[in-house]
Amino acid sequence: MFTFSRRSASTTVMAGLLSLGLVACGGGTTKDSASSAAPAAPASSAPATANPNAPIKEGLKLAFLPKQINNPYETIVDKAGIEAAAEFKGEAKEVGPSDASASSQVSYINTLTQQGHDAILIAANDANAVCGPLQQARSKGVKIVSYDSDASKDCRDIFINQANSEEIGRSQVKLLSEMIGSKGEIAILSATANATNQNTWIEFMKDELGKPEYKDMKLVKVAYGDDDDQKSFQETQGLLQAYPNLKGIISPTTVGISAAARYISGSKYKGKVVLTGLGTPNQMRQFVKDGTVEKFALWNPKDLGYLASYAAAALASGQITGAEGEVLKAGKLGERTVGKDGEIILGPPFVFDKGNIDQFDF
């Protein structure tokens, strides 16, 4: 496992900072062949008992199933999780679809179940579309960890949330508001219309915008770039043409914000339309330095993958069951407590700007 580097301070210090608070291609990245969908079956209703002192089993087989293969952000997450598995003498791989459609992950879940994996870790494209196959996997003893974008809580054991969803949504509005003086038309450039995490964050953004201090800000459009670079680029162009008085765009997706920045940087809107959202420092560095983007946010995606990997191992080894109040021992990240509905939070988002972006490399 490699973690992001901080050039002016130790990795330990920065990991601690991000803990108070958010994909590089690797040899383990493959696209497995898909099989036909299997019928859903309910998971066992017998209550499991955790043994926090149980050792992590050696030779565990884990599989990361991202929204789509070759999404740069999810590659970082999954590669870190694959490397974390080596720390506890497990094996892990990444497989998945080339598109982020609602049902594109179903056949992969069925294949991984048939292959006898101990755990499947999934960033769900659609919370409900994957539910039946995940329940089928659980009925066969496979542990299910969702990360980044949750599956229905009845269809998985643990959800590794990169940050508190409410905090992400509200903080995005606050960040944009500061930069546009709490006044003007704004738009949101999201990923897919079915993405659980995106929709949750957007609902909190809308709720935040209903507060009196944002009375002069108006959300005119939520556009969807489907986490595709070219479509996100085109959607940005369409927003700016359709709404000539647009003052700001929030893109809470790493693919979307980088595509939007690329369009704005070469257009007449540079310096006139404020862009913020969720991005990685390496994607956004050039746009921060050339003045296209002033501030954006994220967490450490490598830590997200690392935490998910340890959660899967703890579940498969019987250290935790996903019950509220249990404590996960997560290697170098220390301990995390399981919250309501089996949610474990990595930490709050961190804001990047010209003054600190060169301290990070991921």
Average pLDDT, the chain: 89
Question: Which among 346, 362, 359 is positioned nearest to 306, based on CA atoms?
Answer: 346
Question: Which among 257, 337, 275 is positioned nearest to 52, based on CA atoms?
Answer: 337
Question: Which among 279, 301, 263 is positioned nearest to 353, based on CA atoms?
Answer: 279
Residue 47 is predicted with a pLDDT of 59
pLDDT of 276 above 70? yes
Average confidence (pLDDT) over 133-149: 97
Average confidence (pLDDT) over 330-345: 97
- Report the interhelical angle of 254-265 vs 281-289 (nearest 10°): 20
Residue 343 is predicted with a pLDDT of 97
Question: Which among 293, 253, 247 is positioned nearest to 273, based on CA atoms?
Answer: 247
Looking at residue 145, the DSSP 8-state letter turns out to be E
What are the backbone dihedrals phi and psi of residue 74, each rounded to the nearest 5 degrees, phi first?
-70, -25
Cβ-Cβ contacts under 8 Å for 93 (sequence gap 6 or more): 28, 29, 30, 62, 63, 64, 82
pLDDT of 36 above 80? no
Residue 251 is predicted with a pLDDT of 98
Ordered structural domains, the chain, with CATH: 61-162+301-346 (3.40.50.2300), 165-298 (3.40.50.2300)
Average confidence (pLDDT) over 145-164: 96
Count Cβ atoms below 10 Å from residue 25 Cβ, excluding itself.
Answer: 13
Distance of CA 15 to the CA centre of its chain: 17
Amino acid of residue 215: K
Sheet holding 184-190, edge to edge: 217-224, 184-190, 246-251, 274-277
- Give the lowest-confidence range in 23-37, 108-122, 136-150: 23-37
Residue 70 is predicted with a pLDDT of 85
**Percent of all residues in the chain with a pLDDT value above 90, rounded to a whole number:** 82
**Cβ-contact 328, 52 below 8 angstroms:** no
pTM of the model: 0.78
pLDDT digits (tens, 9 = 90+) for 66-102: 999 988 899 999 999 999 999 999 999 999 999 988 8
Residue 12's pLDDT band, with cuts at 50, 70 and 90, is: very low
Q: Which residue has the tokens 């210090």?
A: 13
pLDDT digits (tens, 9 = 90+) for 214-267: 999 999 999 999 999 999 999 999 999 999 999 999 999 999 999 999 999 999
